Amino acid sequence: VMLLRDPDEVETVAGGPNGTTKSIQDLPDLVAGFERMGLSARLSVSDRDRAHLDNLSESLSTVYHHGVYRMVEESLTNVLKHSDANEAQVHLSVNEETEELLVDVVEHGKPVSHVDRGVVPSTGSGLRGMQERASVLGGRVESTSLFPWPGWRTKLVLPLPTDQHSPRKDTV
């Protein structure tokens, strides 16, 4: 599977140039990387939800794992580029009633220009790319300002595999 946005930007589900695939299990390292960039980021998953995800891990496709990872990465990147927030929370949970994975990325900063943060200018395709990834996986992305303001929440909702509809490994 390849996602093409412009001819110079090609991404495969295999991830980086060495072919490594990022997964849900790699999220703690991802969050730690943002800590090293100056964003105090926290990842929270309840023990119950962690056990549920561990049990499902093998039945989730590489595309699913990589998609969740990339959407969290893009959400945290957006905090760095577009907010004066110094911290962000990433919360993973499983809604067993609706059989969905919920990923919330929340920050409480005010919008700023990427120039003010000293980061690379935005190409404007981050949210669109997340929406495309979520759609391919049968889910959705909701991105809204918080009330009371300031702050922003990006919420990813993806169906979990069930006996009736289990995604095949490494396919979309």
In DSSP notation, 43-99 reads EEE-HHHHHHHHHHGGGS-HHHHHHHHHHHHHHHHHHHHHB--SEEEEEEEEETTTT
Better pLDDT: 137 or 164? 137
pLDDT at 3: 41
Q: What is the mean pLDDT of residues 56-81?
A: 92
- Does 14 score more than 70 pLDDT? no
Q: What is the mean pLDDT of residues 162-171?
A: 47
- Does 2 score more than 50 pLDDT? no
- Does 99 score more than 80 pLDDT? yes
Instruction: Evaluate whether 83 touches 152 at the Cβ level (below 8 Å).
Output: yes
Q: How confident is the model at residue 147 (pLDDT cuts 50, 70, 90)?
A: confident
140-145 vs 152-159, strand pairing mode: antiparallel
First-to-last CA distance in the chain?
Answer: 8
User: Residue 100 carries which DSSP code?
Assistant: E
